[in-house]
Amino acid sequence: MLTKYLTEVTAKFNPFSACAKPARLFLTYLPPNARSSGMKINTTLLPRTSAEKSSLLVKFKDGKELKFETDKINIKGVVGECDRHSRQLQKADDLMD
Amino acid sequence: MTRRVTQTAAFCLRRLRYQPSIPQRSCAIAVQNFSTTSRNNATTAAAPKPAGVQVPVDFAPTTKPPSARPTETRKSQMIRTYTSMLRTTPLILFFQHSNITAEEWAAIRRELKKALEAVPATTSLPGSAPVDISSHVKLEVVRTNMLNVALKIVEFHDPEAAAAKSTTARTSRGPIVHDLSQAAYEAINKDVPEDSAYAQIQPLMVGPLATLVIPAVSPAHLAAALTILAPVPGKFPAPKKKKSPGFHDSTCQNGLAKLLLVGGRIEGQIFDQSGVNWVGGIEGGLDGLRAQLVHVLQSAGLGLSTALEGHSKSLWLTLESRKTQLEEESGEKKSE
């Protein structure tokens, strides 16, 4: 996954519900030095009884925000969507050079 | 001629082995020694078996009983390790770790060890010597899928029930009901009941997991571990910078940011983060909990007796006041 163009990741999930899976797995896709290289990562754990659905918010360098309802999308879909926008940014970057 | 002799002898021996008075193993050895054909043919030839009853599996060394999974692989041995851990350990916390480097692990474990060493040794039974369990508390990375299988085996595979079944394979030493056996495999491949503990913990078994294993339910140790791994301001405050500078080191903080407490398994019950915090907040450990229970029971008795007393007391009071009122009235009338 291209993580170079991400500036902020906000994950909110209830680990006891099945829809937490994409959000949790997305956190594992981030590189080990993500925090020290300037990416903001906020994780909120919902209590077990809460009915709130898990969500994932990804912000890019150009200001674009992607919001995912993780009960409707799997981790492949999330990564695909993020990469699609990252590739656009990468292309623009390459043309600038 | 010799061939015919051995054939008849082998047949007789095969019949003999189903006699209960003769030890099974010696029979098996004898049959094999008399047979001129290969071992496979000899076993298939021993056909007359009663329906529904498994014929004992012979030639099973004590150190390596027949198993449904390949025993040499790392995964199978992991299942065995995890089942024994789950059976013996009452308090396990599950953490998600996302790309924690080895240095960060070392820093986290160092701080955890430091915090646990500060906890005084506790006594589990009154009168016994204090036991220090802090050296046995371990933070370990586990293989999630193997732990998932182990959790199922621990919950759904009952060796005693499986041993009683007639369909379970047997050796001359007894039924094969160990964790890697066919019986265990069949037990875990059924539908998961909704109300089981495994159904609750199943959604947690996602992604990279680490476990904190505490060999006894000791809220003091749990609280000490929580101050490091998942600090809660006010309840389990993180150590001060002056006291443990290593905790506020960037390596350790980076690692801890990537470590998430997702749940816990305490005495077979599944708890979420707030539940784990509640257990960690029990003051004085199990003794404290017992004292709380005694207090609740005592105060309940007190409340009940006062409640029962209350009505008669109020009745008596009303009657008494009415009596004084009447007396006063009659006194007033007399004086008039």
Task: Give the residue from chain B lying closest to A28, CA to CA.
Answer: B98
B273 touches chain A (CB under 8 A): yes
Q: What is the pLDDT of residues B254-275, one digit of tens each?
A: 999 999 999 999 998 999 999 9
Q: What is the pLDDT of residues A23-44, one digit of tens each?
A: 999 999 999 999 989 899 999 9
H or E element at residue B84: helix B74-88
Q: How far apart are CA B132 and CA B116, in angstroms?
A: 10
Q: How many CB pairs under 8 A join A and B?
A: 60
Chain B residues whose beta carbon lies within 8 Å of the beta carbon of residue A12: none
Nearest to B257 among A15, A24, A35 (CB): A35
Low-confidence ranges of chain A (pLDDT < 50): none
Tell whether ipTM is more than 0.85. yes
The length of chain A in residues reads 97
Low-confidence ranges of chain B (pLDDT < 70): 1-60, 123-127, 284-286, 333-336
Q: How far apart are CA B332 and CA B336, in angstroms?
A: 6
Q: Are strands A65-69 and B174-175 parallel, antiparallel or unpaired?
A: unpaired
Shortest Cα–Cα distance, A47 to chain B (Å): 7
Nearest to A16 among B204, B254, B257 (CB): B204
Q: Cβ separation of A28 and B203 shorter than 8 Å?
A: no
Q: Cβ separation of B99 and A30 shorter than 8 Å?
A: yes
Q: Cβ separation of A28 and B250 shorter than 8 Å?
A: no
pLDDT score for B309: 83
Number of Cβ within 10 Å of residue B184's Cβ equals: 26
Nearest Cα to Cα of residue B263 among A73, A45, A50, A19:
A45
B259 touches chain A (CB under 8 A): no
Q: How far apart are CA B282 and CA B266, in angstroms?
A: 13
Q: How far apart are CA A6 and CA A22, in angstroms?
A: 17
DSSP codes of every residue in B233-301? TTTBPPPPTTT-TTTTSHHHHHHHHTEEEEEEEETTEEE-HHHHHHHHT-TTHHHHHHHHHHHHHHHHH
Nearest Cα to Cα of residue B197 among B156, B145, B239:
B156
pLDDT score for B312: 85
Chain A residues whose beta carbon lies within 8 Å of the beta carbon of residue B100: 32
| Residues β-bridged to residue B210 | B95, B141
Confirm or reject CATH 3.10.150.10 for domain B74-287, answering yes or no: no
Nearest to B101 among A25, A32, A48 (CB): A32
Mutate to test the interface with A, among B258, B271, B277 (most CBs of A within 10 A): B258
Chain B residues whose beta carbon lies within 8 Å of the beta carbon of residue A13: none
Number of Cβ within 10 Å of residue B186's Cβ equals: 16
Query: In this structure, what token pair is assigned to residue B243?
Result: 């006291």
pLDDT score for A67: 94
Listed by start position, the domains of chain B span 2-45, 74-287
B274 touches chain A (CB under 8 A): yes
Q: Cβ separation of B272 and A25 shorter than 8 Å?
A: no
**C-alpha angle A56/B254/B226, rounded to 5°?**
85
Domains of chain A by start residue, with CATH: 6-96 (3.40.30.10)
Query: In this structure, what token pair is assigned to residue B220?
Result: 């003091």
pLDDT score for B173: 78
Rg (CA), chain A: 14
pLDDT score for B65: 82
Contact B306, B143 (CB under 8 A): no
B206 touches chain A (CB under 8 A): yes
Q: How far apart are CA A14 and CA A51, in angstroms?
A: 9
